[in-house]
Chains A and B, each alone.
Chain A
Amino acid sequence: QQQVKQSPQSLIVQKGGIPIINCAYENTAFDYFPWYQQFPGKGPALLIAIRPDVSEKKEGRFTISFNKSAKQFSLHIMDSQPGDSATYFCAASYGNTDKLIFGTGTRLQVFP
């Protein structure tokens, strides 16, 4: 119940494409769903986050879609660029400890 399942494991798109990364969870107590971006040799960094009271959140070219009834959420990257090539992690948290449960990550490669 504590897991966050992420797919696909890897994704290759051409510049301008719209990669979509999906995550699913079981624990209905989760109340915060961030996405982290990690470049090789660096620590993860917060990209965008959503709470379950909204169905979509957009920040620049990055959009989270949230389906509370299906217990799924996804990250869409519009007009993807080679600089978006990184590993993306979804995560979920609940309660007041700020602990995060991470998905297993998606390695995205965007070719020119």
Chain B
Amino acid sequence: NAGVTQTPKFRVLKTGQSMTLLCAQDMNHEYMYWYRQDPGMGLRLIHYSVGEGTTAKGEVPDGYNVSRLKKQNFLLGLESAAPSQTSVYFCASSYSPLKGTQYFGPGTRLLVL
């Protein structure tokens, strides 16, 4: 099992460009999450999904959109990138009711110039 995978690993964008980050999991998990990690701020939840076809806002959703068309995939979109979105993005998945056991991907480092 690959677990949780993320593509790409690293990307440089110019302000105003758009991109999509892909997260895939092969553990048949219902729940999936997108976080951003910034120095001194821990991990902050952007959006999450409790099942195929569902999405919900997390703590810092502005400037991002998500889609969960297939159970195994969770996409994070930036329509018009801003320098404030420079961060490391982590995807995670979990199978409730194993509460709190989220499995994280390796991260995508995004630099917005």
The interface of chain A, by Cβ under 8 A from chain B, is 2, 6, 9, 32-34, 41-46, 49, 89, 91, 93, 96-100, 102-105
Contacts and interface: CB of A to CB of B under 8 A. Distances in A.
Nearest to B102: A100
A48 to B, nearest CB: 10
Interface of B: 4, 31, 33, 40-45, 48, 50, 56, 58-59, 90, 92, 94, 96-97, 99-107
A91 to B, nearest CB: 7
Nearest to B91: A43
A2 B50 CA distance: 20
26 contacts: A6-B42, A9-B40, A32-B99, A42-B107, A43-B4, A43-B90, A43-B107, A44-B43, A45-B103, A45-B104, A46-B100, A49-B100, A49-B101, A89-B42, A93-B99, A96-B97, A97-B48, A97-B50, A98-B94, A98-B96, A98-B99, A98-B102, A99-B58, A100-B100, A100-B102, A103-B42
Q: Choose among B31, B40, B94, B102 the residue with the greatest number of A CB atoms under 10 Å from its CB.
A: B102
B96 A96 contact: yes
B42 A43 contact: no
B48 A44 contact: no
Contact of A93 (B41, B59, B100, B105): B100
B68 to A, nearest CB: 15
A51 B44 CA distance: 22
Nearest to B56: A97
Contacts of B50: 97
Nearest to A42: B106
